[in-house]
Amino acid sequence: MRALLLAVAVALAASASALASDRHPTLAELESEVICPTCHTTLDQSDSPIARRIKVFISARIAAGDTKGQIKSKLVAQFGEGVLAEPPKHGFGLLAWILPLAGILAGAAALGALAWRWSHAREPAVAAVGSPLAPELDRRVDEELARFE
């Protein structure tokens, strides 16, 4: 019961910080989520003139009290969806989210099928019913083993 209460408390604390981040974003947060239209790197890595202008715009919008979503919406309206570092979760951009997961699942299924096939294709261990050696070789092995006794 205590573990359940602890898990609920942690979940609530994490969700509150996520909501606070959306309501009161920081420039550093948004710099890693927005791409410079000129050099196609995130704003925290770019020093191009347009990147500096976008940083000033973001700072002004934060000071005006805009949320992270509102700021991103305004940037998308001005520069297009290519300004976001994260692909959209709808339309064609949804493939960027689905294909890696589908690839991992397909690879795991193929690996599992190959492992199953390999484990079932092996020959069973030969039971030691008789001597698999030729009689002459079997006699020589017995003589050599007798020397060590």
* Domains of the chain, residue spans: 26-87
Which residues have CB under 8 Å from 21's CB, separation 6+?
29, 68
26-87 CATH pick, 1.10.287.180, 1.10.10.10, 1.10.8.640, 1.10.275.10? 1.10.8.640
User: At which residue do the structure tokens 């606070």 appear?
Assistant: 20
Question: What pLDDT shows up at residue 20?
Answer: 47
Among 23-27, 57-61, 132-136, which is the least confidently predicted range?
132-136
Coil, helix or strand at residue 96: helix
Question: What pLDDT shows up at residue 110?
Answer: 96
Q: Look at residue 15 and tell me whether its pLDDT is greater than 60.
A: no
Using CA atoms, how far apart are residues 97 and 109, in angstroms rounded to an integer?
A: 19
Question: What pLDDT shows up at residue 18?
Answer: 47
Beta strands in 13-73 (DSSP E): none
Rg of the chain over all Cα atoms, to the nearest angstrom: 32
First CA to last CA distance, the chain: 66
Q: Identify which has the larger pLDDT, 114 or 20.
A: 114
% of the chain with per-residue pLDDT over 90: 47
Coil, helix or strand at residue 84: strand
Q: Which two tokens stand for residue 52?
A: 């500096």
Q: What is the pTM of this model?
A: 0.53
Q: Look at residue 127 and tell me whether its pLDDT is greater than 60.
A: no
Mean predicted confidence (pLDDT) in 28-57 = 92
